[in-house]
Structure formats: C-alpha cells, structure tokens
C-alpha cells in the first residue's frame, strides 16, 4: 500500500507512455456489491487440512532466521512473489519510481558476507502510476495492481520481461468509510493480490485481493470478475482485521501483511487466513525483524513490513535435526521470504514455536498479538 497521506506523491522524472492492451483487468461492480456479497458467503468451509501441511498449527508462531539476503538497491516494496520457475519478482511503488523487476541472487562478496539480491530485468511504470500488489500467475505471467489509478498491468516474463496489457478497470476497490463521525470518504484503492491455485470451479484458480479494509476479495482468475468477498475476522481477538495489505498464498492459506493506515497504526505481524471464509488461523510475529530494520528509521510508517514470497514449487526440505525447538523429525516448509518497504534486506525464515504461547495456547498467543501487533481495535 502507499505511504501515509502526507507523503503520497514523489517527484516525477518525465512522462513515459503506458502501453495499452485489449483486456479489462477488473470486471464487476463497485465495492458496495462486494460488501453485499459478504452476507451471501457460501456455507462455512471445513477446517483447513493443517495435519497435511508442513506449516505449524499454532495460533502464534515465531520464526527461525535461515538466511539474510542484503538488498543492493532498497525499494518501496509493494508486492513480492516467486513464479513457477523459482524466479523472484517485486512490485515497487511511489510516483515516478514505480516498477516491476526481477530480483536475482548474487553470490557473497566474501566468505563472511551474506548473499545479496540485485536487480535484474526491470520495467518502469509511467510517472503517474503508483505500483501496488503483485501476483505470479501460471505460465510466467505477472499481474500488478496500481494504487488509485484504476489500472491493472499484466506482464509476460518469457522470453523477457515486458508489459503485455494495461487497461482501465471497470470495478472499484472502494474501502469502507473510516470510523468516526464526519470522517472523509476514502478514495478507491487497490492494495494486494495473490493467485490461489486450483480453487476455481474450472480448476484454474482464483485471485485474492485486498483494498486496505478487512475484506478479502475473490476474483475469477481469467475474467477477473468479482466472485465474492469475505470479511477477515479473528475469533480469538474478537476483531475484524483492518488494513489487509500485501498478500501471498502459502500452502493453501492466505498470508497478509497488515497495515491499518487509515487507523494510524502499522503491524509487524502477518495474519494467516483461511480464504474460503476469512477465518484468521493465526499470526506470525516478525517484530524482531522490523526492529532490526527500523533501528535507523525516523519514518516508521514508510518502512513497514511488506512483502511475502513463498516458493511453492520447491521441494519440501528435510525434517529438522534432533535437538531443535521442535525436537527431531519435525517437518519444515518450503522457502519463505519476507521484506519491507525500504528495507535493507530480505529474510528467509522458517516458522518456529513462540515463547509467548506456552504449549501452543491460543489465549496466551492472542494476548501477545493484542500487545505487540499494532492492530486496530476500534
């Protein structure tokens, strides 16, 4: 999502024409129709198959840091995804600086130095466009949202990165009005997007998208017709989770960065959401990473945790060795990268038990989330 309102526009660098194409990137009615669909959600889905997943079932998870990848060029990261070939892609925001680009792993400069991510192929956006969420689609395609400009951009990555289609959106991602009497209406915005495979009626999958509210929108993956919307609610906290931002699909769950900007707060925790009905399954506490990155930052709102990429085609790694926090033989999930806006590194992490949730206690975990995760509780 974009920076706080006081820093919405950067300096332009001269106009660049945006290629036009022949496809409408969001079909459907206004977000009011999406809100109405919440009342018509299909019957509550069965519990997610966590027993068959390499992910932890705890309500609150911590992390183990497996690798730090320094950023040769920091960016206002708005979206992150790994495609079927294992390539890492990033959407960069800000007026005059937005782009889609590949991040390529570079070897360490010395034996003691960490590996780095350098910028590979890159396509800049026109100065009047503000890049937002990014989804890796099948067949090497990328879909990038724009913030308030009403454009969806599709890119081909093979044989080379190139903008393929761009057109005005007919639909709207209008956020619900902020709390408080006399509060101004919000502009229509688009924040996060991710591809959820094998979830559509035709087996082609759906897109899940966010607009900064508590709604998770389901879109047809081909026509981008709005299918339905579910409100994301954490029963343990008794809260609808406002500020859903960048999204990623991880083993069938939707993981969301949370940035309740309209409520003037920000979070360094990631929500784990069951996409069928919007249930919050749990949280991943990444506050330690955020503290490291913000040590020299004076503008925390423009340096928030933002960017999750899961390599769903990589082989599942071998079980943990004996003697670890989980004991020997515990399953490990595939490579998972997280980063943030203007962060100096991306981090490869593995979920781990959290000290604040004794024996996986949901009550203890919820108390910790309330205390440290910066959620909007109004």
Distance CA 266, CA 244 (A): 11
Distance CA 173, CA 119 (A): 31
E strands within 116-161? 116-124, 131-137, 141-146, 151-156
CA 171 vs CA 83, 178, 225: distances in Å: 26, 21, 9
Query: Tens digits of per-residue pLDDT, 245-257?
Result: 999 999 999 999 9
Phi then psi dihedrals of residue 102, to 5 deg: -90, 140
CB 36 within 8 A of CB 176: no
Pairing outcome for strands 336-340 and 305-310: antiparallel
- Return the C-alpha torsion angle 101, 137, 307, 351, nearest 10: -130
Considering the entire predicted model, what is its pTM?
Answer: 0.84
DSSP code, position 303: S
CA 223 vs CA 110, 146, 219, 238, 246: distances in Å: 49, 18, 8, 35, 22
pLDDT at 99: 97
Distance CA 108, CA 103 (A): 15
pLDDT at 326: 57
Give which of 179, 181, 151 is closest to 166, Cα–Cα.
151
Pairing outcome for strands 345-353 and 99-106: unpaired
pLDDT at 329: 54
What does the block give as tokens for 339?
A: 């980063």
pLDDT at 32: 40
Distance CA 166, CA 329 (A): 48
CB 122 within 8 A of CB 101: yes
**Regions of the chain where pLDDT drops below 50:** 4-44, 172, 174-183
Element (H, E) at 345: strand 345-353
Third-level CATH fold of 18-39+57-174+188-372 = Lipocalin (2.40.128)
The partner residues of 100 in beta bridges, in order of sequence, read: 91, 123
pLDDT at 11: 30
CB proximity list for 83: less than 8 A, separation 6 or greater: 89, 136, 140, 142, 157
């Amino acid at each position: 999502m974009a920076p706080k309102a006081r820093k919405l526009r950067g300096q332009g660098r001269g106009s660049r024409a945006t290629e036009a194409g022949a496809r409408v990137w969001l079909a459907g009615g206004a977000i009011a129709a999406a809100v109405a669909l919440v009342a018509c959600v299909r019957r509550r889905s069965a519990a997610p198959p966590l027993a068959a997943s390499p992910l932890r079932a705890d309500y609150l998870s911590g992390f183990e840091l497996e690798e730090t990848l320094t950023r040769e060029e920091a960016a206002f990261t708005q979206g992150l995804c790994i495609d079927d070939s294992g390539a890492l892609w990033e959407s960069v925001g800000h007026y005059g600086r937005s782009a889609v680009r590949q991040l390529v792993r570079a070897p360490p400069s010395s034996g003691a130095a960490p590996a780095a991510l350098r910028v590979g192929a890159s396509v800049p956006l026109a100065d009047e466009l503000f890049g937002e969420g990014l989804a890796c689609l099948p067949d090497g395609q990328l879909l990038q949202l724009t913030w308030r400009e009403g454009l969806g951009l599709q890119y081909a990555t093979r044989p080379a990165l190139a903008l393929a289609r761009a057109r005005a959106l007919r639909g709207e991602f209008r956020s619900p009005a902020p709390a408080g009497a006399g509060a101004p209406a919000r502009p229509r915005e688009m924040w996060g997007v991710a591809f959820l495979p094998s979830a559509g009626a035709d087996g082609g999958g759906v897109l899940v998208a966010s607009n900064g509210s508590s709604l998770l929108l389901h879109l047809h993956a081909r026509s981008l017709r709005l299918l339905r919307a579910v409100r994301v609610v954490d029963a343990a906290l008794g809260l609808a989770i406002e500020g859903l931002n960048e999204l990623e699909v991880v083993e069938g769950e939707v993981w969301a960065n949370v940035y309740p900007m309209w409520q003037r707060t920000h979070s360094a925790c990631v929500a784990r959401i069951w996409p069928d009905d919007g249930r919050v399954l749990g949280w991943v506490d990444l506050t330690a990473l955020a503290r490291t990155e913000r040590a020299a930052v004076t503008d925390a709102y423009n340096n928030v945790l933002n960017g999750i990429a899961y390599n769903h085609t990589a082989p599942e790694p071998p079980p943990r060795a004996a003697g670890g926090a989980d004991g020997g033989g515990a399953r490990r999930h595939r490579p998972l990268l997280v980063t943030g806006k203007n962060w100096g590194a991306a981090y490869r992490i593995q979920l781990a038990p959290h000290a604040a949730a004794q024996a996986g206690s949901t009550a203890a975990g919820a108390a910790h989330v309330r205390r440290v995760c910066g959620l909007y509780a109004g």
